[in-house]
Amino acid sequence: MEDKEFSHIDHSGKPKMVDVSGKSVTHRIARAESRVYLPPEVLEKVDNGEIKSPKGAVFQTAVIAGTMAVKKTADLIPFCHPLPVDGCDIQCDVEGEEVKILCEVKTTGRTGVEMEALTGASVAALTIYDMCKALSHRMEIKATRLIMKTGGKSDYNA
């Protein structure tokens, strides 16, 4: 197995931002997923793929919040590079007792957008929790994971 090193730590062990100036500009895509468990008292409010609340349409608001988070990732994660976001698509679908949130982000640049995709999916999940917590605190934000990334030195597919 290849011996890998942490990319955000210099030779003396100090944190650093990765220098991407020597990398090629390529089209990059990343897709991440978050899942939110909905207990019965929340699940029963789902109507035609959406939950309407006094605060607004829950999944539509989660899409907006997730998109805003994608654009602010570099402000939240210390060593993320600010990136131009060429595209962002977030979908919320109820599957059984869970909402599956998929966030796909595209850019053309020297570094990938997996942190943006993970951040978008995570914030969309947090938004669903926030908007539904009056119904139940038994919701559970479950796994958030990278599904795929392309365009860098190595591609990934879960």
The residues that are catalytic are 130
Give whole-number Cα distances, 118 to 7, 52, 144, in Å: 18, 25, 7
Distance CA 109, CA 23 (A): 9
- Eight-class DSSP state of 125: H
Q: From the CB of residue 109, how many other CB atoms can be counted at a distance below 10 Å?
A: 21
DSSP string, 60-96: HHHHHHHHHHHHTHHHHSTTPPP---SEEEEEEEEET
